[in-house]
Amino acid sequence: MQNFAADRLFKNQENIGNAIVPFYNKEAGEKLTTILKEHISLAANIVTAAKSNNKAKLDEEMKKWYKNADDIAAFLSSANPNWKKGRSSCNVK
């Protein structure tokens, strides 16, 4: 079941990337897909670290996850001037 869920989550990221291709281009769609898939992978790493009670690994993966979220925000804000780049209320580094 876990593999099915992971496969479906990754497919969703591909679908989101493909959805922007007609509005931007194939390169933009592929870039978005890549950074969204990274976000899912990092989330899985966070869950694994939390379940194993590995605080050091959890902190490391959380930093990567927030950096990736910043990368997603930067990509989206550069793609559309109406999407402002900024921080969420979760200001964790």
Q: Mean of the per-residue pLDDT values for the chain?
A: 88
In a domain, 15, yes or no: yes
What is the predicted pLDDT for the residue at 92?
Answer: 46
Q: Based on the structure, what is the number of domains in the chain? A: 1
In a domain, 84, yes or no: no
Q: Encode pLDDT of 22-49 as tens digits.
A: 999 999 999 999 999 999 999 999 999 9
In whole angstroms, give the CA distance from residue 59 to residue 44: 14
Q: Could you tell me the residue range of the domain that residue 28 belongs to? A: 2-79
In a domain, 24, yes or no: yes
| Residue 53: C-alpha distances to residues 48, 50, 77 (Å) | 9, 5, 36
Q: Among 5-9, 18-22, 61-65, whose mean pLDDT is lowest? A: 5-9
In a domain, 89, yes or no: no
Q: Kindly state the average pLDDT of the residues 71-91.
A: 73
